[in-house]
Structure 1
């Protein structure tokens, strides 16, 4: 069962993703989030970046739906997401798979590293508002080299989704809880 901290951090991400605020995640919410993110980047439909990011986000939606939509109504509630999260410690490969997909989405210039600017852009896409991440990124940069490697990101992503330590750097992957 999810702790209060886990519930709090997952609820924050859920709320940002529930674009229409109806208490459910739907395909339309993922499309709206994707549109917000591609809009921030200035990527028009049909461009390579737009198509890649759309593929990642809609793939994440299909994975979440398959893992959680037991009544097949094409909607996912926070409680259902939390039930999925409860099982993630036993599914490290699934968590790593979503980490890799999200790394590719955040790494806008595909140079194999997430810069502070790319991280800020991702957080602003999630939240839908300008967000100062200057104090968070150095905490996430585990080796202090100025960027997040794929391995660092996977470690942080895993800590966010499967961890329960409010002091762990991974708890900040989506910004402050």
Structure 2
């Protein structure tokens, strides 16, 4: 009888121990489940996980993510123009387009010049905010109607997203990355056609009298929006106005703007379009 009672007592103790273990294990699992599935609350780069009314603080190290075409898949980024050279590009009638993997130093100087222009705040990097400020300069002239101004803003945003990906405060484009990006754009037939669709809006923005042509005086407005002075505008206009009629049509303006990016021919007058080239 005594032996039976002892055995019964031991079984009871073992059962209670197992039950306690299950409860503890279950509680721990629930806590862990709750921890992993609790939605974080983030403020000023610091995220908090709410656990039983207490805040478990986790500091997030915010790194600048320099643009590396992260708006496009990796395999698409690395795609070269192999297999595309046989296709003609109706957007440009230049017979000196860059079709090789290596670009000339002349072309690189031109791209550095444009990077400097688009770097409106002059911090050495292009951001979406620079793109917005660039557009605001032209819209501030007051020559675009409401619909044109909205279309211009939409195209600026779309161009950024297609070429440089995410719109966020930490997405920047360095000079070298801009060179690489533009090399990729010009080797991609689809992107190439879209890359400079905002040029007509620059023309309309400086066509003050809405005549369909811009004079040297209106071309100076263009250079002012680029952050360049009137002297450079007068010199450039005299060079690019090949027929000497004192005016540029939209077709001439857009062609010059595109040709600046497409050609490596140093004799082309389009090299003057975006102002004096940056010295190395």
Richer in helix (by share): 1
Shorter-chain TM range is: 0.7 to 0.9
Q: Which residue of 2 aligns with 1:102?
A: 202
Q: Which residue of 2 aligns with 1:62?
A: 158
> Aligned-pair RMSD on alpha carbons?
3.0
Distance, in Å, in 2 between the alignment partners of 1:100 and 1:36 is 15
1:96-135 residue pairs with structure 2 within 5 A? 97-127=197-227, 129-132=228-231, 133-135=233-235
Q: Which residue of 1 aligns with 2:186?
A: 88
The Cα of 1:120 is off from its aligned counterpart by 1.0
* Greater shift in the superposed pair: 151-160 or 21-30: 21-30
The Cα of 1:54 is off from its aligned counterpart by 6.3
* Greater shift in the superposed pair: 22-31 or 56-65: 56-65
Unpaired runs of 5+ residues, structure 2, are 1-101
Residues 56, 105 of structure 1: 8 Å contact kept = no
1:1-177 residue pairs with structure 2 within 5 A? 1-39=102-140, 41=141, 43=142, 49=145, 52-53=148-149, 55-56=151-152, 59-69=155-165, 74-86=171-183, 87-88=185-186, 91=189, 93-94=193-194, 97-127=197-227, 129-132=228-231, 133-177=233-277
Instruction: Determine which structure has more spread, i.e. the larger CA radius of gyration.
Output: 2
Q: 1:71 to 1:150 in 2, by over 3 A?
A: closer
What whole-Å deviation, never above 9, does each CA across 1:26-56 have from its counterpart, x for those lacking one?
22212323344444x3x4xxx8547734642
Residues 134, 225 of structure 2: 8 Å contact kept = yes
Distance, in Å, in 2 between the alignment partners of 1:122 and 1:54 is 19
The Cα of 1:75 is off from its aligned counterpart by 2.7
The residue matched to 1:145 in structure 2 has which SS? coil
Distance, in Å, in 2 between the alignment partners of 1:173 and 1:50 is 27
The residue matched to 1:135 in structure 2 has which SS? helix
The Cα of 1:160 is off from its aligned counterpart by 0.5
Unpaired runs of 5+ residues, structure 1, are none
The normalised TM-score by structure 1 is 0.77
The Cα of 1:105 is off from its aligned counterpart by 3.0
Distance, in Å, in 2 between the alignment partners of 1:79 and 1:28 is 19
| Count of residues in correspondence between the two structures | 171
Richer in strand (by share): 2
